[in-house]
Amino acid sequence: MQKADVILVVDDTPTNLRLISEALTDAGFEIATAINGEMALKQIQYSLPDLILLDVMMPGINGFETCKRLKENAATCDIPVIFMTALSDTDSKVKGLSLGAVDYITKPFQEEELLARVKTHLELRSLTKNLEKKVVERTAELSLALEDLQESQIKLVQREKMSALGQLVAGIAHEINNPVGFISANLEHTEEYFKALVNHLQLYQQEFSQPGMKILEDAEDIDLEYLLTDLPKIIGSMQQGTERIRHISNSIRIFSRTDSDRKVFFNIHEGIDSTILILQHRLKANEKRPDIVMIKEYGCLPNIECYPGQINQVFMNLLANAIDAIEEANQERSFEEIKAYPNQIAIHTNLTEDGTGVVIKIIDNGAGMSEDTKNKVFDQFFTTKAVGKGTGLGLSIVRQIVVEKHGGTLEVKSIPGQGSEFAIALPVKAEIID
């Protein structure tokens, strides 16, 4: 059974209270009464009516002041107020309506008119409430749809970005491997051929101890003794160079690993090292600052079950952001100041106490963040960078990969002017999330 609407009748005349109450009760309404404005305001503190019939002319607080106080109170401001008055002048009506009243009933009034006006305004209030409810519900639906759309956009950006990056660097690694393999193989043959020629030359020197002036002069011109000493060193340096290129190519391959449809076991430290190598050019000294010092304190970690390509993207975004924060801080410092207090990024890894997870901390001594920025840093499309410099997706994608894709946690600590620390915790054994 539907609950009856409650109507508060405020009038200092007992006869009016009785007549109005009887008419409204017969019409099915629940009635509350008050003989003045003070009593009405006190009564409303304990029970809110659905509509108020308010007499204008009352001792103490009159109807206009009572209405004003009702509309100033957040709990009562939306309750419809209908004034009851013998005053019929336009100024009084305008004043009442300007204070927030919805209607006027002039005394003496007809019962049919009273009931019609009460029912009309109760229906209007009900319709308003339903409309507000629908607006709230629709707004919530639209907000959820917007969140889903933004989530889909992030996933699409992440997928396309990783796919394009993976194809690019994998292609580069492949192109590097071919000539490097050719050079490396030929260096081995070159070294063997050189040793054979040296042995042959030494045999000539033994068999022909007096080679003649032309040969002696030519040996002096080409500095034969130095050549025989230095050429093996050159070949050795070239071999070291090719091994270095092989290492770079292997790091690129590790970084660009395309994810399968399931998680695989992966060496976290290899992922970090490959990412650092990709960013090496940004760590080197330039005319404005010395090298950014990279400090690595690795614990003894097992391989973890994850999507390697996505985890490498987390390292890439966090390390690139750390470098950006350092560059931002450097704008306020001279070369000598930076040299005295060097730029640095520290990476700490360790196993959790229970052995079920790993923790990776990336700490920089860059510009740091305010409390407001720190609270928004993982929000979608939030960025502190200038227009065209950032999408606001980097750290949002990091959070999605760590928390949603791998069931881990991501925390940030930061102090303006001192730097930031991002702590990633990942389970060793994959959880069923996708």
Segment 286-297 mean pLDDT: 90
What's residue 351's pLDDT? 94
Model confidence band, residue 4 (pLDDT cutoffs 50, 70, 90): confident
Q: Which helix (H) or strand (E) holds 425?
A: strand 419-427
What residue ranges do the domains of the chain occupy?
Answer: 6-109, 150-256, 257-434
* Region of poorest pLDDT, from 62-71, 212-221, 283-292: 212-221
- Spatial separation of the C-alpha atoms in residues 322 and 361, rounded to whole Å: 12
State the Cα–Cα distance between residues 11 and 57, nearest whole angstrom: 9
Whether 257-434 and 6-109 are alike in CATH topology: the answer is no
What CA–CA distance (Å, rounded) separates 111 from 121? 16
Residues with Cβ within 8 Å of 214's Cβ and at least 6 positions away in sequence, in order, are none
Q: Who contacts 279 (Cβ-Cβ below 8 Å, separation ≥6)?
A: 316, 319, 320, 323
**Domain 6-109 -> CATH class:** alpha beta
Give per-residue pLDDT as tens, 34-51.
888 889 899 888 888 989
CATH class (in words) of the domain with range 257-434: alpha beta
